[in-house]
């Protein structure tokens, strides 16, 4: 990695010392920074600037110092987006100015590897420069707690308060190169330790020697190379596409859903593959496709993973599921005698709830899954490996191919015809749209959907949306994104036709059409 030279000033001893930037007068127009469901994200060179990254890092630094944990250090990682490594250095310089040691990723790494390093090294917390699946124009700032889980609301509220109170004051910083020379920066490569860590809960040799062919699509993100390296040296054939760094992500949002993964689906359909494994831009979300190149939607993946842990691993611990997850979760919970806990959307709710309840897994509709035997945080690489292990185990029972495994899941857990549409709006119009929907859907909710009566409706506890159920368990969810200027409309139904009708009705509600 090419790094820019740091500014240094000569001391009275003739030794270069870091230049600490003096605070400037706070401006009343300092842009607010609000952490959504998964960190703070904004457009690069607009709101996402070096100054605002430093403001976020100052909030983290003060949180660590106030808790007396600065000696434990902070892990700093970054993805493959435009200038992510340099934004990460900017954040590290602020932490270093507060005499907080920094464990800095040697290269772009998956987000969950920061969680792993925080746990493995007993660090105070972690920072990741990433916008996950957002458009290529964006970047973001995520915070991981000392448990490895996403920072919960109480931590984020503290960070936001610190950022707000300091306004546009320029935080002090210590040049990165100077701090590294002084031994305050430890460059880390999480792969060897992560491979050993995964081996504690998953038999990698079993997977390496399986007679299967797998296609992996990391969508040009920081998960490239990880699954092939973890599975190398055996009989299994792993082919990876889109592995090079491309901050434009091939012109698609790096979220492992259609149409973003359609190229991978075409490759699968044209070859003799057993399964496709998909990752998002920072590899904390998982996706999959069957042997025919048919996309396995995120709710089906949640059902498959839960079935795997219950049926093949014999776990009976609780499961945590977000309000936009599949109805297959409570059905499987009832079938296997497992408690299910529901949370608002976002792993900042799921992770802490997993820790609180001792859950075996937690999942959300976006393709994020965490596991009690692993990390209480999303890990798309680990989730994909579990899906592969499910394939191998079901084959040993005589159930193949993957499409047949999915049919078996629905025989146990019921139907799941699911889709999500995103209604995009201009950034400056988003607040007005959200305010209108909060009034309309709360004060005058619809009485029917697709010609069928609504039997139950709830406003989400975080006031970020509304969910409506029909009598057969089908549902519609209208939810405001916490990271982008859009409204998400979700539907899960007992048939494809009903799903599409519910989605159309939901989109009309959002757009205000009659």
What is the arithmetic mean of pLDDT over 135-142?
96
Q: How confident is the model over 213-223, as pLDDT tens digits?
A: 999 999 999 99
Cα–Cα distance between 67 and 146 in angstroms, integer? Answer: 11
Q: Which residue has better confidence, 384 or 7?
A: 384
pLDDT at 29: 60
Report the sign of the C-alpha dihedral through residues 424, 425, 428, 429, in that order. negative
> 């005499």: which residue's tokens?
99
Domain ranges, ordered by start, for the chain: 8-189, 194-413, 417-511
Report the sign of the C-alpha dihedral through residues 301, 306, 311, 315, in that order. positive
Instruction: Look at strands 213-217 and 237-240 and give their pairing.
Output: parallel
pLDDT at 168: 77
Q: How confident is the model over 144-193, as pLDDT tens digits?
A: 999 999 898 889 998 999 999 888 788 999 999 999 999 999 999 999 99
194-413: what fold?
Alpha-D-Glucose-1,6-Bisphosphate; Chain A, domain 3 (3.40.120)
The total number of residues written for the chain in this structure: 514
Considering only CA atoms, which of 139, 55, 160, 43 is closest in space to residue 428? 43
Q: Do domains 8-189 and 417-511 have the same CATH topology?
A: no
Residue 323 and residue 345 in contact, taking contact as beta carbons nearer than 8 Å: yes
No. of helices (H) and no. of strands (E), the chain: 16, 23
Q: Return the minimum-mean-pLDDT range out of 86-95, 275-284, 409-418, 458-467.
A: 458-467
What is the arithmetic mean of pLDDT over 366-391?
96
Determine the CATH number of domain 417-511.
3.30.310.50
Task: Calculate the average pLDDT of the chain.
Answer: 91
pTM equals 0.89
What is the arithmetic mean of pLDDT over 141-146?
96
Cα–Cα distance between 464 and 485 in angstroms, integer? Answer: 13
Q: Which residue has better confidence, 483 or 33?
A: 33
Q: How confident is the model over 413-429, as pLDDT tens digits?
A: 999 999 999 999 888 88
| Domain 8-189 = CATH 3.40.120.10 | yes
The torsion defined by the Cα of 383, 483, 225 and 381, in degrees rounded to 10, comes to -10
* Burial group, residue 274, by CB count within 10 angstroms (0-12, 13-18, 19+): buried
Q: Going along 335-451, which residue ranges are E strands?
A: 340-343, 361-364, 368-371, 417-424, 448-449
Q: Which residue has better confidence, 440 or 53?
A: 53
Residue 513 and residue 457 in contact, taking contact as beta carbons nearer than 8 Å: no
**pLDDT value at 277 more than 70:** yes
Considering only CA atoms, which of 138, 115, 169 is closest in space to residue 46? 138
Tell me, rounded to whole angstroms, the distance of Cα 495 from its chain centroid.
29
DSSP 8-class letter at 25:
P
Q: How confident is the model over 66-106, as pLDDT tens digits?
A: 999 999 999 999 999 999 999 999 999 999 999 999 999 99
Tell me, rounded to whole angstroms, the distance of Cα 372 from its chain centroid.
17
Instruction: Look at strands 361-364 and 475-480 and give their pairing.
Output: unpaired
The three-state DSSP-derived secondary structure of 92-141 is HHHHHHCCCCEEEECCCCCHHHHHHHHHHHCCCEEEEECCCCCCCCEEEE
**pLDDT value at 308 more than 80:** yes
pLDDT at 92: 98
Q: How confident is the model over 327-376, as pLDDT tens digits?
A: 999 999 999 999 999 998 888 899 999 999 999 999 999 999 999 999 98
CA separation (Å) from 301 to 50, 262, 329, 366, 402? Answer: 38, 18, 11, 11, 12
For residue 9, the cross-strand partners are 17
**What is the maximal distance between C-alpha atoms in the chain?**
82
């Amino acid at each position: 990695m090419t790094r820019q030279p740091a500014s240094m000033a000569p001391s009275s001893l003739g030794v270069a010392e870091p230049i600490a930037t003096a605070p400037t007068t706070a401006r009343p127009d300092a842009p607010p920074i609000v952490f959504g469901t998964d960190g703070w994200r904004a457009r690069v060179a607009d709101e996402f600037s070096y100054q605002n990254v430093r403001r976020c890092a100052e909030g983290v630094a003060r949180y660590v110092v106030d808790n007396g944990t600065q000696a434990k250090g902070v892990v700093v990682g970054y993805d493959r987006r435009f200038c992510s490594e340099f934004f990460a250095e900017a954040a590290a310089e602020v932490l270093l100015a507060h005499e907080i040691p920094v464990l800095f990723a040697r290269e772009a790494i998956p987000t969950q590897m920061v969680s792993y390093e925080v746990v493995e090294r007993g660090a105070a917390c972690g920072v990741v420069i990433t916008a996950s699946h957002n458009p290529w124009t964006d970047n973001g700032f995520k915070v991981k707690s000392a448990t490895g889980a996403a920072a919960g609301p109480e931590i984020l509220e503290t960070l936001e308060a610190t950022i707000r109170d300091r306004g546009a004051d320029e935080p002090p910083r210590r040049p990165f190169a100077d701090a590294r020379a002084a031994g305050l920066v430890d460059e880390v490569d999480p792969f060897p330790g992560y491979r050993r860590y995964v081996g504690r809960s998953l038999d990698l040799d079993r997977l390496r020697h399986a007679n299967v062919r797998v296609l992996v699509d990391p969508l040009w993100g920081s998960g490239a190379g990880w699954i092939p390296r973890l599975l190398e040296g055996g009989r299994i054939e792993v082919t990876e596409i889109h592995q090079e760094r491309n901050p434009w992500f091939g012109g698609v949002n790096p979220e492992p859903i259609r149409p973003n993964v359609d190229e991978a689906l075409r490759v699968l359909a044209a070859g003799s593959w057993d399964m496709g494994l998909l990752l998002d831009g920072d590899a904390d979300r998982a996706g999959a496709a069957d042997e025919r190149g048919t996309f396995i939607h995120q709710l089906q993946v949640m059902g498959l993973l839960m079935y795997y842990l219950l049926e093949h691993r014999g776990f009976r611990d609780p499961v945590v599921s977000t309000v936009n997850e599949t109805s297959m979760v409570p059905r499987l919970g009832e079938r296997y005698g497992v408690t299910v806990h529901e949370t608002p959307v976002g792993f900042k709710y799921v992770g802490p709830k997993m820790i609180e309840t001792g859950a075996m897994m937690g999942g959300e509709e976006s393709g994020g899954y965490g596991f009690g035997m692993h990390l209480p945080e999303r890990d798309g690489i680990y989730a994909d490996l579990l899906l592969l292990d499910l394939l191998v185990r079901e084959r040993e029972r005589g159930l193949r191919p993957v499409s047949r495994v999915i049919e078996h899941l629905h025989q146990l857990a019921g139907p799941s015809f699911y889709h999500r549409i995103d209604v995009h709006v201009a950034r400056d119009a988003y607040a007005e749209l959200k305010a209108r929907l909060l009034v309309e859907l709360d004060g005058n909710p619809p009485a029917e959907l697709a010609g069928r009566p609504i039997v139950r409706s709830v406003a989400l506890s975080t006031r970020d949306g509304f969910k409506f159920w029909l009598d057969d368990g089908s549902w519609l969810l209208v939810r405001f994104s916490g990271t982008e200027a859009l409204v998400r409309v979700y539907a899960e139904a007992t048939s494809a036709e009903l799903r599409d009708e519910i989605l159309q009705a939901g989109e009309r509600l959002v757009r205000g059409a009659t």
